[in-house]
Amino acid sequence: MCTSVLYKNGSYSYFGRNLDLQYPMGNEVMVTPRNMPLKFRNGMEIKEHPAMVGMALAPDGDFPLYFEAMNEYGVGIAGLNFPKMAVYKKEIEEGKTLGLASFELIPYLLSKCKSVD
């Protein structure tokens, strides 16, 4: 299980998290440049988005598998691990616009959001 903490001090926020795994993943600091095409498994492609930085894997060299990241607007997201707590649909529901893989959620949200509002 992962843990995260957010500390606010006036207009400043400090975020930290741990990754509770007992084996190395090969994760590293990764920067996704502004407007680098993001190609999602459902065929969607986002060509215009803010830059992102965080801890990630990139096994295929293309798509960042972020553990946590922040975009250039200051929006940050962490993917916390809660084993056996999530359920994923195997098929995309008719009429739904997205069918994102769980590891695609962080770059998708950071590519779309300029604030938490």
Q: Are strands 65-71 and 3-9 parallel, antiparallel or unpaired?
A: unpaired
Q: Which residues are catalytic?
A: 2
Q: pLDDT band at 11, cuts 50/70/90?
A: confident
> Which of 73, 67, 76 is CA-nearest to residue 51?
73
Angle at 109 between CA 106 and CA 113, to 5 degrees: 140
Q: What is the pLDDT of residues 57-85, one digit of tens each?
A: 877 767 888 989 999 999 999 988 777 87
Query: Is the pLDDT at 97 greater than 70, yes or no?
Result: no
Q: Per-domain residue ranges for the chain?
A: 25-85+99-117
Q: What integer is the mean pLDDT of 15-33?
A: 82
Q: What is the mean pLDDT of the chain?
A: 85
User: What is the pTM (predicted TM-score) of this model?
Assistant: 0.81
